[in-house]
Structure 1
Amino acid sequence: MHYFVDTLQKYPEIALFLTIGIGFWIGNLKMGKFNLGVVTSTLLAGLLVGQVGVKLPGVLQSTFFAMFLFSVGYSVGPQFIRALKSDGLAQVIFSIIICLSGAATAILLGKALGYNGALTAGLLSGGYTNSTVLGVATDLMNQSGLPPAELAAALALMPVAYAVTYPFGTIGSAYMLAAIAPKILGFDLVKVCQEYEAAHGGKKVGTTAYREYSARAVRLTSEALIGKSVAEVEELFRHEIFIRRMRTVEGGSIIDCQRDTILTENAILAVSGGLSALLAYTREFGPELKDVPLLDFSTELLDLVVTNKAYAGRTLGELIHTLFGEPGRGVFLTKFTRSDVAMPMNLETRIQRGDVLTILGAKADVATIAKELGYADRPVEGSDMAFMAFGIVAGSLIGAFTIHIGGIPLSLGTAVGAIVAGIICGYLRSTMRTFGHIPGPAIWVFNNVGLNGFIACIGLNAALGFVGGIQHYGVTLFLAGTLITLVPIIVGLILGHFVFKFHPGIMLGAVAGSRSTTAALGALQEAAKSNVPVVGYATGYATSRLVMALLTIPVVKFF
């Protein structure tokens, strides 16, 4: 043990990775339907490992946090900017009000309880379940010019407040929104979401849009189909079956079928469609057989980013009717994503630039749709690191710029600058997809390693002051955290139901997003048995990430 402690003290990077490893391991363990979460687990692991007396340089902490903030901004930027310019503006305003209520509650409680800015920021970060607040506050405190001893004491308090208040912030908000709110406001969440889906085309958009894609070879023996064109047969089967290729005689040459191709007796056909459609209809053609060369045509599963202005604002139903007919006959829509959130595929959902449609079909047909609709975002291993690095530099330089008003220095701070830069870069990437590519897995690494590396640094550096802080502030902090969790939720429910009059499912999702509480979204989806809450969550989450970073400035400066 003595060797282990000495090694950690001599090589603090070992302590850092040990903390991150424990955090990810414990944070992903399930206890029934609840798990502690990686961020909270990493913080607690850092506070435990740090008891041996490990100190990490502040620049490492800031580097991790800059990576995290930029990746968050990059992910939510397209949705946030579009919401500001579209009919999502009401949800943006709604989310800002909720964020303001949370920050105001924290300031009032901090003043009433005699807390300083650091402790109040930690209280807000945990109770509001927004780790960005913790990082921005740390950045502001490091730039405050406080004496080293006073600064160290202040920085030690923030993780104490976060660790005490975060668990209820997560569990309480999920339970309040998914179980309590529908009862208080008097609606059946499952029923209203079903009604919304029915009214807005929440059913599947034809078989071709949602079912597993497959292809089979059949011999045409049905007299009802012999002599008909491909278009006539596909119309007969309501475009749930597509005829891709045909071999007129066994062992003969293969032709690619067009809409006017005539089907001949005993021809061997390659038909594609959803699995259920194939099971239901292929027997109406004739017996199925094995013909590997006939079925050996290239297919592609492609993430297609909508960049063509001509299609922005059109509904998903219109898009499928226009493009998934002749131009992309036999192409399947398998997923619809907005700002990395899987959206319900409703007929009436309006497409926005930057939305990602995952399509599957013959490679040539997929390429046809991609050329018309936008950018083919094919998987690549590399990231445009220059784009990311220069973005962080530009944002941080702007954030570091200080002006003096009445002798008081004012600046956004490098942390806010980094997230704003990420939002701008993410939006630019969504509209001009030829540069700035950062693959989803890389964003995951920057986001999770950046955040949890930063949290690990905080925990390790604050560990020695943690026990005393818990003993002095614990119960009061917990009760204050419950208020910061509940007040914004109550404000959101009242405003969303009575003032903005949002659909109940969308309203609950918007409240969860405005609190950036992913656990609450999961609980809502489970309780609603629907993805309708996701519609409200996406805009609320994007808005809260930026707004809470900005609101951290007055929270810290007010004390």
Structure 2
Amino acid sequence: MRQFNYCFMFEWLIHTLQKYPEIAVMLTLMIGYYIGKIHIKGFTLGTVTGVLLAGIFIGTYHIPIPDATKSIFFLFFLFCTGYGIGPQFFQALKKDGMPLAAFSFIVCVCSLLLCWAIASLLHFEVGTTAGFLSGSNTCSAIIGVASNSIKDLNISDDLKNRYLDQIPVAYAVTYIFGTAGTSWFLSVIGPWFMSGSRAKLIEETKKLEAQLSESGGDEEEQDISNAYDQVAFRAYLLSKETIGDGKTVAELEHVLKSKGRLLWILRVRREGKLIPITPDFPLHAGDIVAVSGQRVSAIGADPLLGKEVADVELLTFPVQNVTVYVKNKKVIGYHIRRLDADPLFRGISIRKLTRAGIEIPLSPLTSLSKGDVLELVGIQVDLDRAIPLLGFKEKTGVETDIVYLAGGIVVGTLVGALTWKVGAVPLELSTSGGSLIAGLFFGWLRSARPTFGYIPPSSQWVLTKLGLHVFIAIVGLTSSEGFLTGLKQEGLTLFVAGIVLSLTPMVLALFLSKYVFKFHPAIGLGACAGAHDESAPLLAVQDALNSKVPALGYTVAYAVANITLTTSGVIIVLLMTHGK
């Protein structure tokens, strides 16, 4: 009887999923995301692959889903991806970012050409080749772009469906090594190739961190490679030994800076009274000063200031954390030490710097790029003075500019739908490619004109993650039957070919980084991870070197790779179908 109830409930569930496919999509997301985040000895399957496999399993029960549904979600994913990296992408096309941009572009183009050569040699069909390129390079966006290009081919519907079913097969077979294998290669083989051993590269990276921590001035030498992790507020009783016959606030701050202590004097108590101060305010022994700055600068500052005291009232004043978007041309290329020396920046501490969503190690020689996001800490009046120097204060709140979002997608898809002919060959960017390009442009436009077009980071994350994973879920649900057939036919061949396509461009990348572009080994490994369009190798390299320095090479390379590889989804379909 119990078995009968189980069978009845299962049949009811399948019937319900078939009647309401939206439930099947949500179930696929739930199961796939959970599976993809399970850690087994540090390895995860990845949420994209987890959702794809969950969709394939559930899809064996023939869940009907309108094809246009996945396209809508994929457009959200592409536009928000472009929006998020737009400022960094266009910045990479300028002088400072050109070496990393050129490096990444060369690696990605070589990967595309190698994919074409392997596919031609092994007689892969169009769909298999597109999924092969996508999985080996861990670029999920290729799936959607290539699918749209296949739909536009002048071939029969049966052949289109066959090609479309091949894409998730090749992607699933090659993606695992594309992620795990490349992470292992760059974190284990990479240090050996670049420096002879991991230990030697760690030593070279530490030397680079030390160099970055040197300000270069006779009176400004400081070792603050980790100085921007936390901000501290403390009170000190100035002594005769430390203040002498008296110094102004600016003079004392200069003395502290010359000793490697980037600290600001914010408030003063004299004879029991709180006194407002300016940089030229004279300080005397017996004054109690409220000091702010990086925690490592404040620790052990007693010999330079005096005895630390617990003055609750003096330290009770409002400070704010603000997020600032760097866009002012005046400070683009500024080193942090130069920014600290600017009078407009007095009293401000930097808590964190992120670039294209990646936290960048901070040091006096870290330079600012357009689109950088700084987390600043300070008193409101100081922040109001400093923010215009950098750019603009990022809006807060959850409201997304829907007109800007939807309008950008409309413009991009309309442009992508246009067809040009090169000789007898019709070329089309496709709606997906157009949406990505529109995202880049509208993201850059937002950075240049920040009064409109706000899409909160949380909204970007949701639209990007949900857009991609819903798309992948529907791909799995609608490609289940073809997946199992294709896996039996070409599974082993695809897996071996995926190893070749994943590692060969990385071997080339290491060679280019060391001998042609001559990047610092740690920065070069970060650039290799970026050229692979995947954050997992970056994290593996950073963990191996115990340093965030590789992130300096990752962001520009990633921005260029993301665009180049996504666009290659269109190109590989054209290459594989031309002349057939």
- TM superposition score category, shorter chain reference: over 0.9
Which residue of 2 is the match for residue 67 of structure 1? 76
Change (3 A) 1:6 1:522: same
- Counterpart of 2:312 (choices 268, 274, 291) is 291
User: Tell me, what secondary structure is at the counterpart of 2:275?
Assistant: strand
What is the distance in 2 between the residues matched to 1:437 and 1:202? 38
The answer on 1:318 being equivalent to 2:318 is no
Which residue of 1 is the match for residue 4 of structure 2? none
Which residue of 1 is the match for residue 218 of structure 2? none
Change (3 A) 1:507 1:213: closer
Greater mean alpha carbon deviation, residues 302-311 or residues 271-280: 271-280
- Counterpart of 2:172 (choices 155, 163, 185) is 163
Which residue of 2 is the match for residue 229 of structure 1? 248
User: Tell me, what secondary structure is at the counterpart of 1:52?
Assistant: coil
Change (3 A) 1:25 1:85: same
The alpha-carbon deviation at position 145 of structure 1 amounts to 4.3
- Counterpart of 2:228 (choices 198, 210, 215) is 210
Which residue of 2 is the match for residue 535 of structure 1? 552
User: Tell me, what secondary structure is at the counterpart of 2:322?
Assistant: strand
User: Tell me, what secondary structure is at the counterpart of 2:300?
Assistant: helix
Task: List aligned pairs for 1:446-525, cutoff 5 A.
Answer: 446-525=463-542
The alpha-carbon deviation at position 446 of structure 1 amounts to 1.3
What is the letter of the counterpart of residue 231 of structure 1? A
Change (3 A) 1:381 1:248: same
Is the 8 Å Cα contact of residues 202 and 345 (structure 1) preserved in structure 2? no
Change (3 A) 1:202 1:545: farther
Is the 8 Å Cα contact of residues 219 and 289 (structure 1) preserved in structure 2? no
What is the distance in 2 between the residues matched to 1:451 and 1:413? 17
What is the distance in 1 between the residues matched to 2:404 and 2:292? 42
Which residue of 1 is the match for residue 85 of structure 2? 76
Which residue of 1 is the match for residue 427 of structure 2? 410
What is the distance in 2 between the residues matched to 1:206 and 1:489? 34
What is the distance in 1 between the residues matched to 2:288 and 2:508? 64
Which residue of 2 is the match for residue 183 of structure 1? 192
Greater mean alpha carbon deviation, residues 142-151 or residues 128-137: 142-151
Please report the RMSD computed on the Cα atoms of aligned residues, expressed in angstroms.
2.3
What is the letter of the counterpart of residue 499 of structure 1? V
Is the 8 Å Cα contact of residues 207 and 274 (structure 1) preserved in structure 2? no
Change (3 A) 1:153 1:211: closer
The alpha-carbon deviation at position 503 of structure 1 amounts to 2.1
Task: List aligned pairs for 1:14-25, cutoff 5 A.
Answer: 14-25=23-34
Change (3 A) 1:217 1:406: closer
Task: List aligned pairs for 1:47-66, cutoff 5 A.
Answer: 47-66=56-75
User: Tell me, what secondary structure is at the counterpart of 2:324?
Assistant: strand
Q: Deviations over 1:16-36 (max 9, x none)?
A: 011111222222222122111
- Counterpart of 2:267 (choices 226, 239, 245) is 245
Is the 8 Å Cα contact of residues 202 and 344 (structure 1) preserved in structure 2? no
The alpha-carbon deviation at position 10 of structure 1 amounts to 0.7
Q: Deviations over 1:498-529 (max 9, x none)?
A: 22222222222212111102111111111122
Which residue of 1 is the match for residue 208 of structure 2? 196
What is the letter of the counterpart of residue 466 of structure 1? F
Change (3 A) 1:232 1:314: closer
Greater mean alpha carbon deviation, residues 398-407 or residues 112-121: 398-407
- Counterpart of 2:275 (choices 255, 271, 282) is 255
- Counterpart of 2:329 (choices 309, 313, 328) is 309
Is the 8 Å Cα contact of residues 209 and 333 (structure 1) preserved in structure 2? no
What is the distance in 2 between the residues matched to 1:428 and 1:529? 37
Identity of aligned residues (%): 36
Which residue of 1 is the match for residue 143 of structure 2? 134
The alpha-carbon deviation at position 141 of structure 1 amounts to 1.6
Change (3 A) 1:480 1:405: same
What is the distance in 2 between the residues matched to 1:205 and 1:436? 40
Is the 8 Å Cα contact of residues 65 and 415 (structure 1) preserved in structure 2? yes
The alpha-carbon deviation at position 308 of structure 1 amounts to 1.6
Is the 8 Å Cα contact of residues 178 and 499 (structure 2) preserved in structure 1? yes
Q: Deviations over 1:200-253 (max 9, x none)?
A: 447977599515223234555667548543334334433544332233344x4x
The alpha-carbon deviation at position 40 of structure 1 amounts to 0.9
Is the 8 Å Cα contact of residues 78 and 427 (structure 1) preserved in structure 2? yes
User: Tell me, what secondary structure is at the counterpart of 1:550?
Assistant: helix
Greater mean alpha carbon deviation, residues 187-196 or residues 282-291: 282-291
What is the letter of the counterpart of residue 208 of structure 2? Y
User: Tell me, what secondary structure is at the counterpart of 2:344?
Assistant: coil
Which residue of 2 is the match for residue 90 of structure 1? 99
Is the 8 Å Cα contact of residues 226 and 363 (structure 2) preserved in structure 1? no
For structure 1, the 5+ residue unaligned runs are: none
For structure 2, the 5+ residue unaligned runs are: 1-9, 216-221
User: Tell me, what secondary structure is at the counterpart of 2:148?
Assistant: helix
The alpha-carbon deviation at position 479 of structure 1 amounts to 0.8
The answer on 1:122 being equivalent to 2:134 is no
The alpha-carbon deviation at position 346 of structure 1 amounts to 3.5
Is the 8 Å Cα contact of residues 208 and 331 (structure 1) preserved in structure 2? no
Change (3 A) 1:219 1:455: same
Task: List aligned pairs for 1:364-375, cutoff 5 A.
Answer: 364-375=381-392
User: Tell me, what secondary structure is at the counterpart of 2:479?
Assistant: helix
What is the distance in 1 between the residues matched to 2:310 and 2:100? 54
User: Tell me, what secondary structure is at the counterpart of 2:370?
Assistant: coil
Q: Deviations over 1:27-86 (max 9, x none)?
A: 222212211111111111111111211122111111111111111111221111111122
The total of aligned residue pairs comes to 553
What is the distance in 1 between the residues matched to 2:310 and 2:104? 57
The alpha-carbon deviation at position 291 of structure 1 amounts to 2.8
Q: Deviations over 1:331-388 (max 9, x none)?
A: 1111122222212224333322222222111111111110222111142211212111
What is the distance in 2 between the residues matched to 1:387 and 1:99? 31
- Counterpart of 1:386 (choices 403, 406, 410) is 403
Is the 8 Å Cα contact of residues 189 and 527 (structure 1) preserved in structure 2? no
Q: Deviations over 1:163-222 (max 9, x none)?
A: 111001111111111101332344332122223333344797759951522323455566
User: Tell me, what secondary structure is at the counterpart of 1:237?
Assistant: helix
Is the 8 Å Cα contact of residues 354 and 431 (structure 1) preserved in structure 2? no
The alpha-carbon deviation at position 545 of structure 1 amounts to 1.3
What is the letter of the counterpart of residue 23 of structure 2? I
The alpha-carbon deviation at position 532 of structure 1 amounts to 2.1
